[in-house]
Amino acid sequence: MSVTPDQSKKVGVGVSPSPSPFLTPRPERRRRTLEWNPSRQDKDKEVNVQVLLRCRPLSDDEQRLNVQKVISCNEHKREVTVLQSLNNKQVDRVFTFDRVFGPKSQQKSIYDQAISPIVNEVLDGFNCTVFAYGQTGTGKTYTMEGGMRNKSGNLPAEAGVIPRAVRHIFETLEAQNADYSVKVTFLEIYNEEITDLLAPDDNPRTAEDRQRKSISLMEDGKGCVIVRGLEEEAVYNVNEIYTVLERGSAKRRTADTLLNKRSSRSHSVFSITVHIKEATVGDEELIKCGKINLVDLAGSENISRSGAREGRAREAGEINKSLLTLGRVINALVEHSTHIPYRDSKLTRLLRDSLGGKTKTCIIATISPTAQCMEETLSTLDYACRAKNIKNKPEANQ
């Protein structure tokens, strides 16, 4: 059963953690929270980064203009073929992924086949992250958000990963009659500045106000990341989470119109943290904590069009340090490097606990089927293929 909404809804993250994640007061218990250790029984089990590829359909305009398609998806073989001809010779390139979703794929099948097992891991006490990576206009936001809910409050067919994950979490916990709490945060990283998408829109008047609003990343003694200044909102049912999500997305869209296409150069991170009471042992309670980060990344053209080739690497670094560093972190994980450069960007610092190691990571790479986008598509496919090789023993990068 979820906790009641009549308690204070705002909980500072990492600043002054409450003694128990549950808001229901139970003074008769000592309520010491025992740490849940999610290390797997099977020590040899490797932790994979799952990489999915999704190709969007042609838009109505593209269909009308009879735009040339250069992508062919074979979902059964999990292959994507880029059809290329050079001097009248066909020189196709084939890429294989963990799963491939073609232009006709439905939001529901992506969730059921690929994301639902990850959410089950979260409910088992793991930290997981789902990234949408790809060129602007290829369907990252559609895949992650899609339609939130229709007038009757139900999920529409075009509902994406986030609304489906939210419903899955609440439905499972209610079906288990669990004693739980759910908290969410929603932030944006733009030019290495973190903005809280759930913070009220009042203008800071004093230096003290500004100080309170600024968000910074810190690490505790155990190397865990603490986000200082970010508001964590407790939510009690599916509809409340949708309201929160819509509020944050609207804020992102407003910023988008004010600053031309800002959202294509920023990352949004929607995180859901679930605390579940596992057992009571004497006076103490064993609390299981799982977290899922759902990340809509900046458009990948921000890095791929600006490599050393064009002599603009430095500028690109400044435009989007986080996206570049995420690539470097992924490469370092692939190569089993002893140094993983998590600390080099806000995004990778923020998600450090959820990349490699004992966590589940899923990257959904999105591409367009058109000839016009072929260069970007090849770059996305290369990036996603490199990520596919990440296989860490659970303790490999601790």
Options 3, 22, 56, 133; binder of ligand ADP; rule CB under 6 A? 56
Estimate the crossing angle of helix 161-175 against helix 116-123, to 10 degrees: 50
Q: 157: which 2 tokens?
A: 């067919």
Residue 108 CA, distance from chain mean position = 18
Determine the residue with CB nearest Mg ion.
141
**CB burial of residue 77 (10 Å; 0-12, 13-18, 19+):** exposed
Q: CB 44 → ligand ADP: shortest distance, Å?
A: 37
33 or 107: CB nearest Mg ion: 107
Segment near ligand ADP (CB under 6 A), from 20-28, 88-96, 129-137, 226-234?
129-137
13 or 381: CB nearest ligand ADP: 381
What residues between 128 and 157 interact with Mg ion by CB under 5 A? 140-141
With CA atoms as reference, report the closest residue to 347 among 365, 324, 364.
324
Q: 260: which 2 tokens?
A: 């031309």
- For the chain, give the number of residues: 398
Segment near ligand ADP (CB under 6 A), from 138-146, 195-203, 207-215, 322-330?
138-146
Residue 237 CA, distance from chain mean position = 21
14 or 57: CB nearest ligand ADP: 57
The site string for ligand ADP over 350-369 (x = CB under 6 A, - otherwise) reads ----------------x---
**380 interacts with ligand ADP by CB under 6 A:** no
The beta-strand segments (E) located in 119-265 are 127-134, 180-190, 193-196, 216-219, 225-228, 231-235
Q: CB 341 → ligand ADP: shortest distance, Å?
A: 26
Cα angle 347, 348, 349 (rounded to 5 degrees) comes to 90
CB atoms within 10 A of CB 172: 17
Q: 97: which 2 tokens?
A: 């992924």
**134 interacts with ligand ADP by CB under 6 A:** yes
**Per DSSP, what are the bridge partners of residue 73?**
80
With CA atoms as reference, report the closest residue to 144 among 107, 182, 114.
107
The listed partner (ligand ADP, Mg ion, none) that binds 267, CB under 5 to 8 Å by sort, is none
Segment near ligand ADP (CB under 6 A), from 86-94, 131-139, 252-260, 322-330?
131-139
20 or 141: CB nearest Mg ion: 141
With CA atoms as reference, report the closest residue to 362 among 69, 137, 131.
131
Q: CB 177 → Mg ion: shortest distance, Å?
A: 38
**136 interacts with ligand ADP by CB under 6 A:** yes
Cα separation, 251 vs 356, whole angstroms: 31
**141 interacts with ligand ADP by CB under 6 A:** yes
**190 interacts with ligand ADP by CB under 6 A:** no
Contact 85/91 with Cβ under 8 angstroms? yes
Segment near ligand ADP (CB under 6 A), from 140-148, 165-173, 334-342, 381-389?
140-148
**111 interacts with ligand ADP by CB under 6 A:** no
With CA atoms as reference, report the closest residue to 361 among 323, 315, 329.
329
132 or 199: CB nearest ligand ADP: 132
Q: CB 144 → ligand ADP: shortest distance, Å?
A: 8
Q: CB 39 → ligand ADP: shortest distance, Å?
A: 36
- The residues that touch ligand ADP, with contacts defined as CB under 6 A, are 56-57, 134, 136-142, 366
- The residues that touch Mg ion, with contacts defined as CB under 5 A, are 140-141
